[in-house]
Amino acid sequence: MIHLRGTAFDVVVDLSHGVPAIVYWGAPIDGPATATSALDRPLVFGLPDQIAPVSVVPEHAAGFTGRPGLLGHRRRGTHWAPRFEPLDHHLDGNRLVAVAHDPLAALRLTTTIDVADCLVVSTELTNAHESDRYLLDGLTVTLPVAEHLDELLTFSGRWTRELQPERTSWAHGAMTAENRRGRTSHETPSLLFAGTTGFGEWGGEVVGAHLAWSGNHTWLADRLGDGRRYLQLGELLHPGECSLEPGESYRTPDVVAVWSGDGLTSATQRFHRRLRARPEHPERPRPVLVNTWEAVYFDHDLDTLRDLADRAARVGAERFVLDDGWFGSRRDDTSGLGDWVVSPEAHPQGLAPLIEHVTGLGMEFGIWVEPEMVNPDSDLYRAHPEWALVTDGYEPPLGRNQLVLDLARPEAFEHVLGQLDELLGAHDISFVKWDMNRDHIAGSGSDGAAGTHDQTLALYRLLDELRRRHPGVEIESCSSGGARIDHEILRRTDRVWTSDCNDALERQTIQRGASMLVPPELMGAHIGPPRAHTTGRRHGLAFRGATALFGHLGIEWDLRSLGDDDLDAVAEVVALHKRLRPLLHHGDVVRFDTDDAFVAHGVYAPNRTEGVVSFTRMATTASLTPPPLRLPGLDQERTYRVEHVALPHERPGPGRTRPNWWETGLVATGRDLERVGLQLPALHTETAVLLHLTAT
């Protein structure tokens, strides 16, 4: 029995069965032995005479009747249900590595369990046979879930509507999701939580699990006939995608899990701490950027772009990002992907005049690329049609007129690496927006087998190599908006593009979902134009600003259409963001439970001396005024000064008066702010107010 103590919760691992079994994870406990003796289960009629543990890789051969953790076989279907024995283990601080083997099946399983802010579990299968290959259909990581955690929070989504929460009661049976899009996906984010009935942001026991992987995946939440619950997460392998030759291994992606005894907010802060602890986590202030996409789309013209850059600098932007349209024949989205050379048509003098202009204004320069793709109408495809990740003999479905480039082919990999290396070497580029807009559909590698697994690893290698060669360049993970938001892509990128939707109303929910996994400094959030391009809704600057400033702020709006007063107003939002940036990007993200008509969230300084809170009315309600907003999680003993932060062009809302404290501020203890709450003004729908809290 191994007792691992993390920063906030304990994990007890039983090694006696072969594959390690996590028998307990939760609030710190005194004795690991309790976890096994006190939880010993009686035999019951109707079930096998042995109770198979819910191990990290549960075994059908041991009597486990849920979905086995390992699916695969050798020739003629043999060795399809292996059973492992313990071989060895090694404990280094809070990191346990346990090796188990099945001598009959000639398979070895090496499981790593690491506990710090999060519980991180992975396992590796090795084909130890001398001559026979093993066909692997799936290897997933299983985590038991305490039986009283009977409500699930999962996420759905689509393009421009990512990370939408869904609550389900978890009575009996299974709920599962399968993602075959070859990217983390809009539809099936690899994140789910289970908690006590009605668990909220500040109440209830909660566990959460995330698969750190950017390809296909599956997750399962299952309750067995005997009442035990488990979560299972792993890569989804296509038929025949992974065959292990003698001596070869397959390692699962990391499953990253969190526990909290006091609700979702503190559970999800642990995911943030894990990302903030990465050695490559950006420490310097996150540059406010202007992105050209919704400003000019494919219409690149040096004078226009210079004009936009002037205005970007005028409002306080620190980075200027040239989006799609600068290369090859890319004048619209039908051609050019794959040809990463500056277009003489769009930029007759090359990129230098624009870059010099941008850097001369004191801003960094960033550029858009989509290196995993190729348009059939491109020089690259004409020269190497065989480099597309398709299945020979079948007409490949296009997505946005494009195909996936098979990066697992060394020649294709070297070609793209060479072009990107040259682009970054030849220009003063500090930031790359790395996009990915087509699903992997029926993509076979050069051996004819499904190619998504190899492609995902090749993508990681490409990013790693590029970062090695250009260590100062920051990279954004974008995939038609937020289809590639996961902890593994974030090991080699510096922010995610959360959504192509810049409509502040939609963004309130999207960013709330994303905040469950990613801290604000890694979450791209832009102020779009007054009329959102993806929804047609209109919002004032105050609401758009109040929404975007909670992430890594950007502006995606044709600033050339603004007069001086409006530019000043945008500059005011940017200045406010910069003032709050140290708090926003280093503090603890807090979310508050409200009726669905409102969204309330904020960031508290880790030492609780400061905070900023946003309160949005999303829809009308039966009552005219919103209910008092309670602010849990502050220092109970401290006294805070709460002030309304005025945003430019803020409209007062429908009330005849504001609450008394509104103009002067309010002084109250953290305890009272939690217990009594704060009355806010009656708000128009689709408006937000910001509050700033300072400990006195």
C-alpha span between 667 and 673 (Å, rounded): 9
Task: Count Cβ atoms within 10 A of the Cβ of residue 296 and give its class: 0-12 exposed, 13-18 middle, 19 or more buried.
Answer: middle
> Minimum distance from CB of 495 to ligand DGJ (Å)?
13
Q: Does residue 444 belong to the site contacting ligand DGJ (CB under 6 A)? A: no
Scanning 1-9, 95-103, 115-123, 478-486 for contacts with ligand DGJ by CB under 6 A, the matching segment is 478-486
Q: Are strands 495-497 and 249-251 parallel, antiparallel or unpaired?
A: unpaired
Scanning 236-244, 314-322, 334-342, 475-483 for contacts with ligand DGJ by CB under 6 A, the matching segment is 475-483
**One-letter amino acid of 282:** P
C-alpha span between 234 and 71 (Å, rounded): 12
Eight-state DSSP code of residue 262: S
Q: Does residue 388 belong to the site contacting ligand DGJ (CB under 6 A)? A: no
Q: Token pair of 391, please?
A: 């299945």
Q: Does residue 500 belong to the site contacting ligand DGJ (CB under 6 A)? A: yes
Eight-state DSSP code of residue 538: B
Scanning 21-29, 351-359, 448-456, 476-484 for contacts with ligand DGJ by CB under 6 A, the matching segment is 476-484
Interface with ligand DGJ: number of residues (CB under 6 A)? 11
Q: Does residue 431 belong to the site contacting ligand DGJ (CB under 6 A)? A: no
> Minimum distance from CB of 345 to ligand DGJ (Å)?
17
Whether 231 contacts 54, CB under 8 Å: no
Tell me whether residue 135 or residue 483 sits nearer to ligand DGJ (CB atom). Answer: 483
Scanning 186-194, 387-395, 477-485, 670-678 for contacts with ligand DGJ by CB under 6 A, the matching segment is 477-485
Select the residue interacting with ligand DGJ from 202, 368, 387, 615 (CB under 6 A): 368
> What part of residues 521-550 is at the interface with ligand DGJ (CB under 6 A)?
none
Q: Does residue 506 belong to the site contacting ligand DGJ (CB under 6 A)? A: no
Tell me whether residue 148 or residue 400 sits nearer to ligand DGJ (CB atom). Answer: 400
> Minimum distance from CB of 434 to ligand DGJ (Å)?
10
Report the sign of the C-alpha dihedral through residues 299, 304, 305, 311, in that order.
Answer: negative
> Minimum distance from CB of 368 to ligand DGJ (Å)?
6
Tell me whether residue 480 or residue 616 sits nearer to ligand DGJ (CB atom). Answer: 480
Report the sign of the C-alpha dihedral through residues 416, 422, 423, 429, in that order.
Answer: positive
Please list the helix, strand and coil fractions of the chain in percent, rounded to the nearest 5, in that order.
Answer: 20, 30, 45
Which neighbouring-strand residues pair with 126? Answer: 108, 249
> Minimum distance from CB of 526 to ligand DGJ (Å)?
9
List the catalytic residues. Answer: 435, 500
**One-letter amino acid of 591:** R
Q: Does residue 481 belong to the site contacting ligand DGJ (CB under 6 A)? A: yes
C-alpha span between 423 and 312 (Å, rounded): 24
Select the residue interacting with ligand DGJ from 117, 151, 254, 323 (CB under 6 A): 323
Tell me whether residue 205 or residue 323 sits nearer to ligand DGJ (CB atom). Answer: 323
> Minimum distance from CB of 183 to ligand DGJ (Å)?
12
| Of the candidates 135, 227, 220, 208, the residue with the CA atom closest to the CA atom of residue 165 | 208
Q: Token pair of 630, please?
A: 């309670």
Select the residue interacting with ligand DGJ from 437, 498, 594, 616 (CB under 6 A): 437
**One-letter amino acid of 465:** E
Q: Token pair of 483, please?
A: 């289809």
What lies within 8 Å, CB to CB, of 471 at 6+ separation is none
Element at 71 (helix H, strand E) = strand 70-73
Residue nearest to ligand DGJ (CB): 324
C-alpha span between 668 and 446 (Å, rounded): 67
Which neighbouring-strand residues pair with 421? Answer: none
> What part of residues 235-294 is at the interface with ligand DGJ (CB under 6 A)?
293
> Minimum distance from CB of 325 to ligand DGJ (Å)?
8
> Minimum distance from CB of 330 to ligand DGJ (Å)?
9
C-alpha span between 191 and 210 (Å, rounded): 4
Scanning 96-104, 126-134, 162-170, 473-481 for contacts with ligand DGJ by CB under 6 A, the matching segment is 473-481
Per CB under 6 A, residues contacting ligand DGJ are: 293, 323-324, 368, 435, 437, 478, 480-481, 497, 500
